[in-house]
């Protein structure tokens, strides 16, 4: 009896609809009966659909992998891989994407329709079916495919917009916290970082030091060679300072030619050694600008928690006071806040 039902399974009850405008959806018809397969394809093609066919579920899977298919019309009873297994497999393969799945079944499987929906079917037809109803269900599937496509596009657009916004926010954050000339932290971000590190040092009784330094006779570079020369000097000094520090240290440009180094977990005496190494590194530089070789010196002030500071701003002020002591003492030298006498007193070098 089941076989007799299948012989006239897709014979239309009414005249086939007239040819309509081309439909953009591609339909896969899967049926092991060549007559039913051909008749179903013919109905769809006359309605403007592009149709591809397969004789079983296994072949249908290969076609889904190879072609862009939006709607599947599959018979239930087939050899090799039946419609239920086919549907379950389609839903388990993420790369296939969304397809609208219509299961076609005989009267004998009506009571098993829940299995089809559990397997992932979107709709069903019971043989023999009316061709007009069949096309109406396919059109309904097409509308759902289009809606799913729009939703997915909106998701992609939203993900793209979120990624662009995240990138923009990152750039804005970088602009807000970075000195554009040197690439170092700017004053605002450096002071935020110092507040954070000061709190940690105070809580856990850890050492913390700051080094303030500026470029000696910096105005002379601008006045003699132009501001582009001054910019070149700033960049070289900033890079030299950044390269000379440990990964835990923080370097920032906090003013025109003024820089701040924050040295966490560092005693004042050790910070003084860091400052001296940096001073000597800068002193050995030969900055090339056009046909000129520019020699650069810096003066430095060091302050640490051992000086009894009351807060981050106070620590910076002590380092700044030590810097001015170094300036007043002849430049190109390092002074420590708790010990104003310069630890290194080379002869003053005019630039």
* Catalytic residue positions, numbered: 257
CA–CA separation, 46 and 30 (whole Å): 18
Beta strands in 204-248 (DSSP E): 208-215
* Contact indicator for 281, 296 with CB cutoff of 8 Å: no
CA–CA separation, 157 and 228 (whole Å): 44
CA–CA separation, 49 and 41 (whole Å): 9
Q: In what order do the strands lie in the sheet with 26-30?
A: 50-54, 26-30, 71-75, 100-105, 123-126
Degrees, nearest 5: CA angle 330-252-250: 105
How many other C-beta atoms can be found within 10 angstroms of the C-beta atom of residue 48?
A: 15
Q: 205: which residues sit within 8 A by CB, 6+ positions away?
A: none
Q: Is 205 left (phi over 0), alpha (psi -120 to 50) or beta?
A: left
CA–CA separation, 16 and 44 (whole Å): 10
Instruction: Find, among 227, 211, 233, 246, the residue nearest to 297 by Cα.
Output: 233
Q: DSSP character for 185?
A: B
* Contact indicator for 68, 76 with CB cutoff of 8 Å: no
């Amino acid at each position: 009896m089941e076989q007799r039902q299948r012989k006239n399974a897709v014979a239309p009850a009414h005249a086939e609809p007239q040819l309509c405008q081309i439909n953009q959806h591609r339909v896969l018809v899967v049926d092991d009966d060549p007559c039913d397969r051909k008749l179903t394809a013919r109905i769809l093609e006359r309605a403007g659909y592009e149709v591809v066919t397969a004789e079983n579920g296994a072949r249908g899977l290969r076609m889904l992998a190879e072609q862009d298919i939006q709607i599947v019309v599959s018979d239930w009873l087939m050899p090799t891989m039946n419609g239920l297994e086919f549907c379950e497999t389609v839903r388990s393969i993420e790369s296939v994407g969304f397809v609208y799945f219509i299961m076609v079944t005989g009267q004998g499987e009506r009571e098993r329709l829940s299995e089809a929906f559990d397997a992932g079917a979107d709709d069903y037809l019971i043989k023999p079916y009316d061709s007009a109803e069949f096309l109406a269900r396919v059109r309904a599937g097409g509308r759902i495919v289009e809606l799913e496509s729009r939703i997915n596009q909106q998701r992609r657009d939203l993900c793209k917009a979120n990624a662009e916004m995240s990138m923009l926010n990152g750039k804005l954050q970088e602009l807000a916290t970075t000195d554009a000339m040197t690439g170092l932290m700017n004053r605002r971000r450096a002071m935020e970082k110092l507040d954070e590190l000061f709190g940690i040092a105070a809580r856990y009784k850890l050492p913390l030091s700051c080094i303030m330094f500026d470029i000696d006779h910096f105005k002379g570079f601008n006045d003699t060679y132009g501001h582009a020369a001054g910019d070149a000097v700033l960049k070289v000094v900033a890079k030299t300072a950044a390269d000379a520090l440990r990964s835990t240290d923080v370097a920032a440009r906090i003013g025109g030619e003024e820089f701040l180094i924050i040295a966490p977990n560092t005693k004042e005496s050790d910070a003084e050694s860091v400052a001296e190494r940096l001073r000597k590194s800068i002193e050995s530089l030969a900055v090339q600008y056009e046909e000129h070789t520019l020699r650069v010196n810096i003066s430095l002030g060091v302050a640490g928690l051992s000086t009894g500071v009351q807060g981050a701003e106070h620590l910076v002020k002590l380092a700044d006071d030590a810097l001015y002591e170094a300036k007043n003492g002849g430049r190109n030298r390092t002074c420590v806040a708790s010990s104003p006498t310069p630890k290194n007193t080379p002869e003053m070098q005019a630039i």
